[in-house]
Amino acid sequence: MTGRALAACQVSASYGSQRVLDRVDLHIAAGETVGLSGPSGSGKSTLARLLALLHRPDSGHVSLDGAAVTGTRHQVPVAMRTRVAILFQSPRAATDPRLTLAEIIAEPLRATGTPAEQARERTAELADTVGLTTDLLTRRPHAVSDGQLQRACLARALVHRPAYLLCDEATAMLDASTQAHVAAVIGEYQRRHSAGVLVISHDAALLARWADRVVDLS
């Protein structure tokens, strides 16, 4: 396979003696939306963590735009890691309770050495994109709703302009209108940057509406 794509090639993963993925292939081309479904415990989240370069497969490998990724987490070069972003199911668990929403969104930029002023501008721009008011940006996670917090997580995920966005049940905890808005923001981003998107969900209707094709893990 050629061209720009994030791909898992024959990956296996296990937790202790429990094998959750057995030689799985998944291919997300640039600009494509892939749906991933499967019952609980079928390894959907594990696959997403492998693709996000957070977890090392027992065997097989993940390739990013044709280059095989070796190592995991801090061993992966920053330039590679920031090309893939992941959006988690629970925004509460995925945000540092000590930081304000503005700090949460700007954190990936600050961590990779962007000056504060530039990070602030980008944060304001993204907050506007995902629909967060300036007042909300000064609050901490416990003082905002799940929906508002997930919008901040989406802004954080987009802050490096990733080529691939992995949504791990990212809209499962949201109400219908927030869900639609989050999906619209992702869709718009995808069109503009021709990003590859992976949507993990239990919801067959959501996948049918959103994804170009659906892979079933069961």
Strands 5-15 and 18-29, by their bridges, are antiparallel
For the bound state, the minimum distance from the C-beta of residue 205 to another protein, rounded and expressed in Å, comes to 26
**Helical ranges in the chain per DSSP H:** 44-51, 78-81, 101-111, 116-130, 134-137, 146-158, 176-193, 204-210
Output 22 or 103, the one with its CB closest to another protein: 103
Distances (CA, A) of 40 to 37, 169, 171, 199: 9, 12, 16, 15
CA nearest neighbour of 176 among 203, 199, 200: 203
Dist. CA 208–CA 214, nearest whole Å: 8
For the bound state, the minimum distance from the C-beta of residue 209 to another protein, rounded and expressed in Å, comes to 26
Dist. CA 86–CA 157, nearest whole Å: 6
Output 182 or 218, the one with its CB closest to another protein: 182
Output 24 or 106, the one with its CB closest to another protein: 106
For the bound state, the minimum distance from the C-beta of residue 204 to another protein, rounded and expressed in Å, comes to 26
87 close to 78: Cβ distance less than 8 angstroms: no
Output 19 or 73, the one with its CB closest to another protein: 73
Output 23 or 73, the one with its CB closest to another protein: 73
Dist. CA 45–CA 50, nearest whole Å: 9
What is the enclosing helix (H) or strand (E) of 63?
strand 59-64
Dist. CA 142–CA 171, nearest whole Å: 19
Output 143 or 180, the one with its CB closest to another protein: 143
For the bound state, the minimum distance from the C-beta of residue 163 to another protein, rounded and expressed in Å, comes to 14
For the bound state, the minimum distance from the C-beta of residue 51 to another protein, rounded and expressed in Å, comes to 11
For the bound state, the minimum distance from the C-beta of residue 93 to another protein, rounded and expressed in Å, comes to 4
159 close to 129: Cβ distance less than 8 angstroms: no
Interface with another protein by CB under 8 A: which residues? Answer: 49, 52-54, 73-74, 78, 81-82, 84-86, 88, 90, 93-98, 107-108, 111-112, 142-143, 153, 156, 159-160
